[in-house]
Amino acid sequence: MVIASALLWSTAGLFVRMADMDVWSIVAWRSAFAFVTLGAFLVVRGGVGRRSRFGGFGLPGVAASAVSAFAAITYIASLQWTTVANVMTVYATLPFVATGIAFFWLRDRVSYRFVTAGCAAFVGTAISVGAAVSARDVLGILCAFAMTAGCATQIVIARRFPDMDTTMMTAFAALACLCISLPLMHFGVPAPQQLLACALYGVFTTGIGYILLLLGSRRVGSGEAGLLSMLDVVLGPVWVWLFYDEQISLPVLVGGAVVLAAVFWYLASDRKPAVVAG
């Protein structure tokens, strides 16, 4: 399930390229399809009709939905404005960003292994970012950093409030994205290929991909789930290379390899090293 979710998530860049629309139109149509998919899952699960679930959602759920909506919008913007390889290289630093936020907010302890791997990952990111060739690339990379920070914050909120319904949070985030993008999108019915791309993105990449991760991550360890989820980072640039001949420059390839090596080295270890005070 976790592998399948990573495979589905890796297609985001492919469907953005396939849609070939402005950012707000992609956000609107993708979010509409994602909201319907996740809403249907909630109905089948029997969660929407329970007042206790809404009561337990509260301000943490609202905050997480807002952060998730911000991450989703900046993710699509980053995929529009720079290469998928650049976006995925930045996104690969997610475990380190999330752990860093948890360190400052929740006072979680971090290991020396984390510090070493995190420094290596950000060196790799710097190598990739240094390959930016235009202002549009730089803007896309900045959006990728914003998206990664948003995803990391969402993870920490979910950890801080474990009773929060994350499926409902994701559905509400999709609804928020739809409401935000409606006044800004290009009105009109998209071409069949564009509508299909947004439907595939919303239903499979976001909706079913999230549901599979939710179900699968309960059956494996967090470290194993983290490693399997890195397939998203590896496969994302491959799809657009195969279907759209989007090339990966040498600095981005080297930087991405450094980041992934750092992540694998950090997540694959079962040792309990000494910790840095926190």
**Stretches in the chain below the pLDDT threshold 70:** 47-56, 132, 218, 220-227, 269-278
**278: closest CA among 116, 93, 99?**
99
Residues 6+ apart with CB under 8 A from 59: none
- At 73 the pLDDT is 97
- At 264 the pLDDT is 83
Provide the 8-state DSSP code for 268.
Answer: S
pLDDT digits (tens, 9 = 90+) for 67-100: 999 999 999 999 999 999 999 999 988 888 888 8
Domain residues for the domain of 40 are 2-276
**154: closest CA among 139, 140, 172?**
172
Spatial separation of the C-alpha atoms in residues 198 and 174, rounded to whole Å: 13
Q: Are 28 and 254 in contact (CB under 8 A)?
A: no
- At 220 the pLDDT is 67
- At 267 the pLDDT is 74
State the amino acid at position 193 in one-letter form. Q
Number of domains in the chain: 1
Spatial separation of the C-alpha atoms in residues 210 and 202, rounded to whole Å: 11
- At 118 the pLDDT is 86
Angle of helix 23-45 relative to helix 209-216, nearest 10 degrees, comes to 50
- At 189 the pLDDT is 85
Global pTM value: 0.87
- At 53 the pLDDT is 53
